[in-house]
Structure formats: structure tokens, C-alpha cells
A = this chain, B = another copy of it.
């Protein structure tokens, strides 16, 4: 057992948050105010607040540079860029999904209006490539192209998610593809872009990308479980929020397509136009569990996590970094308790 060299999430406070603040300095004051509110740098009146979000994607990008033998700092522009893209997507998705709460606070569109949330997201997306284009690295253009490819999948995943709302026949395979695009694509990019920027070997970058892809699917499965059974203290969202919004999340689709009596009762409840009552919400959660949706999501997450961990077990990655990646993966997929 190798002792991890650092508390990896402290990278987020010490390196990534200051770099994000510095990137925001470039923005027009009005746009900056919206973006900094979203990131938790200040509250809606501009008074200092505390940054929310775990910055996991950014930390992965730093570790990715380190895995390629470079100092973590070499991955800092990549870390900043993936965090900017992640937060761009949160700003736009919260608006599209009508989510009024994020990280225990009202979302930007709920406070400032929808046009403001669109522009704040646009600004963060625009900043991401600018930061990467300034990286003192011969491979920065390749890093920009990797990030663009994952941003494209992220957008396709969100469009699929929107389309699922009005469809009654979503298959589990479509739902897994949507989750891979919406969540795993950016985690895959985060886990490999630091190695790209550090000009690491292509096979290492590809292995790290696969690690991130599996980790992303594991993460989304557990996030969907928490979206039903998580406590508001942990998730920062209202209880049963995914069921309330009738989201076709992974455990729900697994239950709906389970060919069980519970799955059929869930479909009857879920696929009506009416808003569910509190009692019906509790019943729906029980039906997802009875139909095997929860157990399937948890065991699939375990399998995805195992596949991810196998990829970083090779000798190619220095053991200290591999251990940091392993701990981060276990924490992110909610398997650390």
C-alpha cells in the first residue's frame, strides 16, 4: 500500500480556485459577477462566500499531468479549462432542467434570470479555450481539440436528456449512452488532458481517458441513486428531486425496463402528466428499488469503478499518482464508506 503524496482535493483550493478566480478577472464586471456567484466566490450582492463544488475534474487534470511525469502545475491550465467547461454546462443545464437549487444555493437563472444564465455559461465556455491556448505547451492545440470533442459529447448528452423527457420508450442502453456523453466524456477528458499538455505518451493518455470514461459512468450511476435516495444535506437539492421532475435517470429507466410488476406500477405512476404527490413520490422510490433499479445501478457502478481502477494499475503510472487517482475514483463514485 502506497501512501498518497498529498491530500489531492487540497489542490483544488490551492491551485485551481485561484486560477479560476484569475480567469474570471478577464470578464466584464457584469458577466464576472454572475460567474463568480455560480462558483460560490461571492453571494448575489457580491459579498465574499465560499467556493462550492469539489473541483474533482480539475484535480483529475492535475493528476493526469503528474501521471505523465510532469509537475502537477503543468496541468493547471487544463484543470482550469475543464472546470470552466463543467461549470458552463451546469449553468445551462440548470436553466434547461428548471433546477432552482444547486450546491445549497439558488441557481443563477433563478436569481438573475434566464438570459443572464445563458450569457454566464457562454462566457465560461469561451474562457476555457482561451486559458488552454495560453498554456506554455507544444501540445496545447491538441488539448483544445480533446476538450472540444468532449464538450460536443456533453452537449449531445444533454440534448438526449431533454429528448427523453417526452419519450416513453427510452431503453437502458440509450440511457447509458446519454450518461456517458453527458458526464463521462468530460471526466475522460479531465483524466487525460493533463497528460496531453505534459506531452506524455499517447498510450498513457488513452489509458487515462478510458479510466475517466469508466469513472464517469460509475459516478453518474451513483449520482442518480443519490438523486432519489440522497439526503438534501449531501446533494444540495430537495429530497426526491429527480423523481419530482420525473427524470429518466439510470435507476428509473432500469426499473421501467425491468419487466417486473413493480416496474409496471412505476410506469403507470411516472408516465402520467400529473404532478406526483409526496406519497406517490415515496411510492415511486420504493418501486424503483423493488424493480431492482437501485441494485442494478449500484452493482453496475461497482463494475465500472473496478474497470477504471484496473486501467491505472499498470507500471506506466508512478505508484504515488496511481494511488491518488485510485482514492479520488473511490471517493467520487461514493464507495468510500
Using a CB–CB cutoff of 8 Å, the interface residues on chain A facing chain B are: 26-28, 30-31, 88, 92, 95-96, 113-116, 118-119, 121-123, 125-127, 129-130, 133-134, 140-142, 144-145, 148-149, 151-153, 155-156, 158-160, 162-163, 181
Q: Classify the interface of chain A: helix, strand, loop or mixed.
A: helix
| Cα separation A28 to B154 with both chains bound (whole Å) | 10
A159, B31: Cβ atoms under 8 Å? yes
- 5 A-B contacts, Cβ less than 8 Å apart? A96-B119, A118-B118, A119-B155, A133-B141, A133-B145
- Given A96-B118, A158-B119, CB of A28 within 8 Å of CB of B152: yes
- Given A119-B158, A159-B116, A162-B116, CB of A129 within 8 Å of CB of B144: yes
Q: Which residues of B contact A134 (CB under 8 A)?
A: 141, 145
A159, B127: Cβ atoms under 8 Å? no
CB distance from A301 to the nearest CB of B (A): 25
CB distance from A148 to the nearest CB of B (A): 4
Listed residue (A88, A116, A133, A144) with the most chain B CB atoms within 10 angstroms of its CB: A133
Q: Which residues of B contact A88 (CB under 8 A)?
A: 122
A163, B30: Cβ atoms under 8 Å? yes
Q: Which 4 A-B pairs have the closest CB atoms?
A: A28-B156, A130-B148, A96-B115, A129-B129
| Cα separation A130 to B148 with both chains bound (whole Å) | 6
CB distance from A167 to the nearest CB of B (A): 13
Q: Which residues of B contact A92 (CB under 8 A)?
A: 118-119, 122
A155, B122: Cβ atoms under 8 Å? yes
B127, A148: Cβ atoms under 8 Å? yes
Residue of B nearest to A123 (CB): B155
Residue of B nearest to A163 (CB): B30
Residue of B nearest to A144 (CB): B133
Q: Which residues of B contact A142 (CB under 8 A)?
A: 133
Q: Which residues of B contact A160 (CB under 8 A)?
A: 30
Residue of B nearest to A30 (CB): B159
CB distance from A180 to the nearest CB of B (A): 12
Q: Which of B125, B140, B162 contacts A115 (CB 8 A)?
A: B162
| Cα separation A115 to B127 with both chains bound (whole Å) | 22
Q: Which residues of B contact A125 (CB under 8 A)?
A: 122, 125-126
